[in-house]
């Protein structure tokens, strides 16, 4: 795609606190609920002549917390894509990193070359690969190099913690970023044939010795600020450069 190619961008984010700096940096305004039956919130704006839209998962009425994980993410992605008809879908969020990949809190990764699941183990021929997913990311190596960001395989599951089996799956599939949404959104994008990338800022170290929930909550605010700045740079880069071929 050439640099005239990106007219509409769709961002998908999970938590309100994660999204605040990104909404501010891109100057997006709340437009309303995406669907009257659902808690998904839609934000819109214009950045350098490009329509920039964001779906936020919204708040669970039963538990008064943000919706997170893969269940809500498929809906956010599907309804967002139908409404916006974007040229690119970006999942921006926070995630766990690995000391074994030399990650530090505050590092920012772009998905490359694929996104997979670590908690869908189905030991039946062909279902093994189906469970893992291997959904494509657009190539992000040049973008990451020019923006000073990192790249790697993002691995998704529905738990903040992990089992030994999850860890084994992540190792086997070269996962260096652990999140709870990217693979679900990547699957919807594959179904719709929409280019996808994830940008993930690291709040906690999966193979470190601190309890994940404590480290996550401690670093959520400052990491979300970093995420907001870097997401703006990524959108800016894509508007200028378009989507790289392989
Ligand atoms: N989001 C932030 N940290 C995470 C982790 N360790 N696992 C899954 N999702 C996360």
Give the tens place of pLDDT for each residue, 129-187. 999 999 999 999 999 999 999 999 999 999 999 999 999 999 999 999 999 999 999 99
What does pLDDT average to over the chain? 97
Name the residue among 58, 28, 27 with its Cα closest to residue 43: 28
CA distances from 206 to 17, 83, 101, 103, 170 (A): 21, 36, 11, 10, 11
Closest-CA residue, ligand 1 atom 7, reads: 160
Q: What is the pLDDT of residue 4?
A: 61
Cβ-contact 21, 227 below 8 angstroms: yes
Q: What is the pLDDT of residue 72?
A: 98
10 Å Cβ neighbour count for 141? 12
Cβ-contact 82, 34 below 8 angstroms: no
Residue 123: pLDDT band (50, 70, 90) is very high
Percent of the chain at pLDDT exceeding 70: 98
Helix (H, G, I), strand (E, B) or coil at 76: helix
**Separation of alpha carbons 34 and 53, rounded Å:** 11
Closest-CA residue, ligand 1 atom 8, reads: 179
User: For the residues 70-76, what does the mean pLDDT come to?
Assistant: 98
Name the residue among 127, 200, 121 with its Cα closest to residue 167: 121
Residue 246: pLDDT band (50, 70, 90) is confident
Closest ligand 1 atom to the C-alpha of 212?
Answer: 6
Query: What residues does ligand 1 touch, defined as CB less than 6 Å away?
Result: 94-96, 160, 178-180, 203-204, 206, 212, 216
**Separation of alpha carbons 89 and 196, rounded Å:** 5
φ and ψ at 51, to 5 degrees?
-75, 120
User: For the residues 81-92, what does the mean pLDDT come to?
Assistant: 98
* DSSP code per residue over 177-231: EEESSHHHHHHHHHHHT--EEEEEEEEEETTSSS-HHHHHHHHHHHHHHHHHHHH
Catalytic residue numbers read: 18, 204
For tokens 């490009």, the residue is 50
Distance 88 CA to ligand 1 centre (A): 24
Tell me the pLDDT tens digit for each residue of 188-236.
999 999 999 999 999 999 999 999 999 999 999 999 999 999 999 999 9
> b vs e for 99-121, b when ≥16 Cβ sit within 10 Å of the residue's Cβ?
eebebebebbbbbbbbbbbbbbe
Residue 81: pLDDT band (50, 70, 90) is very high
**Separation of alpha carbons 99 and 114, rounded Å:** 21
């Amino acid at each position: 795609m050439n640099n005239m190619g990106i007219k509409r961008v769709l961002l998908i984010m999970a938590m309100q606190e994660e999204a605040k700096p990104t909404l501010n940096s891109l100057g997006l305004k709340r437009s309303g609920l995406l669907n009257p039956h659902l808690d998904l919130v839609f934000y819109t704006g214009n950045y350098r002549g490009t329509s920039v839209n964001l779906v936020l998962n919204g708040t669970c009425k039963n538990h008064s917390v943000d919706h997170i994980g893969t269940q809500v993410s498929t809906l956010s992605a599907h309804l967002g894509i139908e409404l916006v008809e974007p040229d690119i879908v970006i999942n921006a969020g926070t995630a766990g990193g690995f000391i074994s990949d030399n990650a530090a809190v505050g590092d920012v990764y772009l998905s490359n070359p694929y996104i997979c699941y670590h908690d869908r183990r189905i030991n039946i021929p062909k279902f093994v690969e189906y469970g893992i997913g291997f959904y494509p990311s657009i190539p992000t190596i040049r973008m990451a190099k020019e923006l000073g960001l990192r790249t790697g395989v993002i691995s998704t599951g529905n738990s903040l913690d992990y089992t030994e089996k999850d860890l084994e799956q992540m190792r086997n599939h070269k996962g260096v970023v652990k999140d709870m949404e990217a693979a679900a959104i990547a699957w919807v994008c594959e179904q719709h044939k929409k280019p996808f990338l994830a940008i993930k800022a690291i709040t906690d170290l999966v193979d470190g010795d601190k309890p994940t929930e404590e480290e996550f909550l401690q670093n959520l605010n400052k990491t979300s600020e970093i995420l907001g700045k870097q997401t703006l740079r990524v959108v800016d880069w894509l508007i200028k450069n378009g989507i790289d071929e392989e």
